Amino acid sequence: MEEVRQVKQRILSGIQPTGVFTLGNYMGAITNWEQMQEDYDCAYFIADLHSLTVRQEPAQLRKHTMEAFALLLACGIDPERSLVFVQSHVHTHAEMSWILNCSALMGELGRMTQFKDKSAKHADNINAGLFTYPVLMAGDILLYQADYVPVGADQKQHLEFTRDLAERFNHFYGNVFKVPDGYFPKAGARVMSLQDPTSKMSKSDPNPNAYISILDDRNVIINKFKRAVTDSETEIVYREGKDGINNLITIYSVMTGKSFAEIEKEFEGKGYGVFKLAVGEAVADKLQPIRDEFNRLIADKKYIEETMAVGAERAYKISRRTLDKAKKKVGLLMP
Ligand code: ATP
Ligand code: LTN
């Protein structure tokens, strides 16, 4: 009897090499990426071109890119099962971005909240790349005909833009791109800063107490949670207005698999100090094997470089098909 082969749907996502990943990146994106490898055809990459939109020290960027790649592998992204590569190693991304730039509108790009936030943060360097950042991102996604894009909540607007751009392009030039859907985690889509629970945890925050880096030592992790900003009440319940505690409950829930109700029960009548320690320990336990694996991988530069090269070659082959199709459709004379 002939076996019916089910073609898997494609997942694609990227992360910038702007520093060591935080618990926010891990909960909002990478845990999902790891789990999705089971059921989907996955592609994950280090978005180094995107990171150039904020001034980077060149030697640091090279170091961070190697580290980010090793971190993905350490978090369980398996290069045998998934396509893993560095964005700038695959030149189709920059080329696709130019063609898409010519279909993107100034008005829609000007409405992007990330552009507004980053322009305010880096007022001395509001470069054109920061403005067209979502176009490069749309190209990353559309080149691979991705079905789903797993990202944190902060990227929702960029995904909406990608869908609009794909539909517009397909409308003018004929069907080239699959229109992708976002994929957001149920819990952990927006992990908040430990120092200001009304703003998101970010790896480029100048205050290291605001975030947990996934390579932080056990003691550092526990101390950061002990210092986490909460409120002046005593009750451990998930409730509107208790941003700090809500954030800690969410983190503890994702780390342990316990529901919010179970957590509220577990800590009924106990103080914030006890709860913060439990959260710190749960996070430290979860991250320990990742740290060990990272230390092993980062010492093997040759393996990392070889894995990057294999990924880049495969990514090029896949993405070239879409790029060529788009080039033909817009009327570029093919050599
Ligand atoms: P930067 O601080 O340099 O802007 P970042 O920490 O926001 O970086 P990115 O590389 O831009 O991280 O994002 C990588 C992935 O992690 C994206 O899918 C993003 O949505 C997700 N992510 C980032 N921060 C958080 C957060 N606090 N909570 C949940 N998901 C997050
Ligand atoms: N902008 C994303 C990183 C990114 C991305 C992508 C995510 C660049 N290209 C394509 C998903 C798909 C961010 O996380 N800040």
Q: Which residues contact 307 (CB under 8 A, 6 or more apart)?
A: 69, 73, 79, 84
| Catalytic option among 8, 63, 121, 200 | 200
In a shared domain, residues 116 and 265: no
* Residue 198 within a domain: no
- Amino acid 188: pLDDT: 77
- Amino acid 83: pLDDT: 98
* Residue 230 within a domain: yes
Confirm whether 317 is a catalytic residue: no
Q: What is the pLDDT of residues 99-123, one digit of tens each?
A: 999 999 999 999 999 999 999 988 9
Q: Which of 110, 103, 94, 115 is nearest to 164 (CA)?
A: 103
In a shared domain, residues 288 and 313: no
Mean pLDDT over residues 120-137, rounded?
Answer: 96
Is residue 5 over pLDDT 80?
no
Is the distance from CB of 213 to CB of 21 less than 8 angstroms?
Answer: yes
- Amino acid 204: pLDDT: 81
Confirm whether 276 is a catalytic residue: no
| Centre of ligand 1 from the C-alpha of residue 304, in Å | 23
* Residue 193 within a domain: no
Q: Residue 167 and residue 309: Cα distance in Å, rounded? A: 33
Which residues form the pocket of ligand 1, taking CB atoms under 6 Å from any ligand atom?
15-16, 18, 22, 24-25, 27-29, 151-152, 154-155, 189-191, 200-204
Question: With bands split at pLDDT 50, 70 and 90, how would you rate the model's confidence at 34?
Answer: very high
Give me the torsion for CA of 300, 303, 306, 308, rounded to 10°. Answer: -80
CATH number of the domain to which 252 belongs: 1.10.240.10
Q: Which region among 36-45, 76-85, 183-192, 311-320 has the lowest average model confidence (pLDDT)?
A: 183-192
Range of the domain at 75: 10-188+301-330
Question: With bands split at pLDDT 50, 70 and 90, how would you rate the model's confidence at 203?
Answer: confident
Q: pLDDT exceeding 70 applies to what percent of the chain?
A: 98
CATH number of the domain to which 63 belongs: 3.40.50.620
In a shared domain, residues 28 and 130: yes
Average pLDDT along the chain: 95
Ligand nearest to the CA of 152: 1
Q: Residue 89 and residue 75: Cα distance in Å, rounded? A: 22
Mean pLDDT over residues 219-237, rounded?
Answer: 96
* Residue 195 within a domain: no
| Catalytic option among 63, 178, 203, 242 | 203
Q: What is the pLDDT of residues 138-188, one digit of tens each?
A: 999 999 999 999 998 889 999 999 999 999 999 999 999 999 999 988 877
In a shared domain, residues 124 and 273: no
Q: Residue 254 and residue 326: Cα distance in Å, rounded? A: 41
In a shared domain, residues 277 and 312: no
In a shared domain, residues 182 and 253: no
Is residue 131 over pLDDT 70?
yes
Is residue 51 over pLDDT 70?
yes
* Residue 143 within a domain: yes
| Centre of ligand 1 from the C-alpha of residue 188, in Å | 11
In a shared domain, residues 179 and 217: no
Q: Which of 230, 203, 228, 226 is nearest to 214 (CA)?
A: 203
Number of domains present in the structure of the chain: 2
Mean pLDDT over residues 82-100, rounded?
Answer: 98
In a shared domain, residues 305 and 292: no
| Centre of ligand 2 from the C-alpha of residue 213, in Å | 19
Confirm whether 203 is a catalytic residue: yes
Q: Which region among 18-27, 275-284, 285-294 has the lowest average model confidence (pLDDT)?
A: 18-27
- Amino acid 1: pLDDT: 52
Ligand 2 pocket: which of 155, 156, 163 to mutate (most atoms within 8 A of CB):
155
> Closest Cα to atom 5, ligand 1: which residue?
202
Q: What is the pTM of this model?
A: 0.92
- Amino acid 3: pLDDT: 58
In a shared domain, residues 228 and 307: no
